[in-house]
Amino acid sequence: MGRRNFTNVPDFILMGLTDSAETQLVLSVLFLLIYLITVLENAAMILIIGLNPQLHTPMYFFLTQLSFLDLSYSSVITPKTLQNLLTSKRVSFLGCFAQLYFFIFFVAAECFLLSSMAYDRYVAICSLLRYSVIMSTRLYHALIASSYVTGFVDSTVNVLCISRLDFCKSNVIQYFFCDTSPILALSSSDTYKVEIIIFICAGSNLVLSLITISGSYLSILSTILKINFTTGKKKAFSTCASHLLGVTIFYSTMIFTYPKPKTSYSLGRDQVASVFYTIVIPMLNPLIYSLRNKEVKSAAVRVLQKRVGSRQLK
């Protein structure tokens, strides 16, 4: 952490999404509802997969980690946003950079995780007979560990670089959470070198993930088109459709916002995109992956039936 920042700026003021009291109330109710649904959905996904041995496969292990990451980075952003809308707009210097650190950590880890899930689907469809050999326990655990290592490296480099900047002119952040672009826009230092480092970190993570995902799905599409019978094609498409939809939604908003220099930062445009990928997407992912998955729905029904049966026996 930059030692000068502690004396010059003891805290920041998050201006939030709007100055209108009525709009703030509406948004707080909406965000609270979305957050409660997000917590229930992702916790339920983790519980359902954990309680059903037949779902203890690499694909569902990845889904469990996805739910954990969605729940985590939603919890990093939404509660503070609700506090910002309802009570205090102030956040300490350390609190701001802690939020930034964990947000980057979980989002960067999710980028790598989504590419790992794409590779898993590639092996499942293009090398079905060798799936259990290729996607071994050691490999998918290594892929999960790599996701968190990527998140750790990305967040550590970003936060260390930004925290070394000077913040002596203003402490007002024109945003609803502590993100890289609004913090860089606030700094009185020359941020060129820091922007380059952040661009390389964010850009390499996004590009490598997208290359892996694109390559996996191009191979999958090529394999599916070679399938002669319609039922096989539908089953293969169904296997990948939910993941591809989730990836498209996640990356379209991420690419719209990151990476870019602070000179191209647009408050209104970026806040709309940020609300979507920080608050809405964690709620949508469990719906995307469970509603299109018969095994998850069947497992959920079995869990509910067991709960009802145990209560009746009591």
Query: What is the per-residue pLDDT for 312?
Result: 54
260-271 burial: b if 16+ Cβ within 10 Å, else e: bebeebeeeebb
Nearest Cα neighbor of 257 from 198, 299, 189 is 198
Residue type, 179: D
The pTM (predicted TM-score) of the whole model is: 0.88
Strands 172-173 and 90-92 turn out to be unpaired
Q: What is the CATH number of the domain that holds 174?
A: 1.20.1070.10
What tens digit of pLDDT does each residue of 56-80 get?
889 899 999 999 999 999 999 999 9
The region, left, alpha or beta by phi > 0 then psi within -120 to 50, assigned to residue 175 is beta
Number of domains in the chain: 1
Distance CA 165, CA 14 (A): 18
Portion of the chain with pLDDT greater than 70, in percent: 85
Kindly state the DSSP code that residue 229 receives in the 8-state scheme: S
CA dist list (Å): 67 to 11, 85, 123, 290: 32, 26, 22, 11
pLDDT digits (tens, 9 = 90+) for 251-268: 888 777 665 555 555 556
Strands 11-14 and 90-92, how do they pair?
antiparallel
Q: What is the pLDDT of residue 227?
A: 73
CA distances for 133 relative to 128, 145, 147, 156, 213, angstroms = 10, 19, 22, 35, 21
Farthest-apart Cα atoms in the chain, separation: 69
The number of CA neighbours under 13 Å toward the Cβ of 208 is 15
Its domain, for residue 198, covers 3-313
Residue 102: per-residue pLDDT: 97
From first CA to last CA, the distance across the chain in angstroms is: 57
Determine the residue type at 76: V
